[in-house]
Amino acid sequence: MNVGDLKYTFTDKTNTERTITIPSDVLKAARRDKIPNKVAIDRYLADLGYLDETAVEETAKAKAPKTRTRKPNDTKRGIIDLLSTAVTKAFGATEVTNPERQFRFEIDGNVYEVTLVQKRK
């Protein structure tokens, strides 16, 4: 066993507990490739025939991105509607680009844009 090598105990595909030495080169390659040590070790064990390739594939899958759902803000929607209606009556047509945040209009060939920002407490 060399300096940096790792003793690793696992259960192989026949459900037998085994302890083997993982070379330090495997862990260095994991750091270089920016993959978790567990994935690198599983790949190494699969290459030696101790694990099925399917276990390595499942471990190596990327996490699914989190999608954030936003609640509609009726207050902001109402303010944008009120402001755009007032500007429409005073200066002509407005274009609501985001019903809870923004609208734009034109006066004398110049385009103006109003953005509503709600400050957090």
Read off the pTM: 0.46
Give 29-43 pLDDT, tens digit per residue.
888 888 888 888 888
- At 62 the pLDDT is 54
- φ, ψ dihedrals at 82, nearest 5°: -60, -50
Give 61-83 pLDDT, tens digit per residue.
556 667 878 889 999 999 999 99
Q: How does residue 12 score in pLDDT terms, banded at 50, 70 and 90?
A: confident
- At 64 the pLDDT is 63
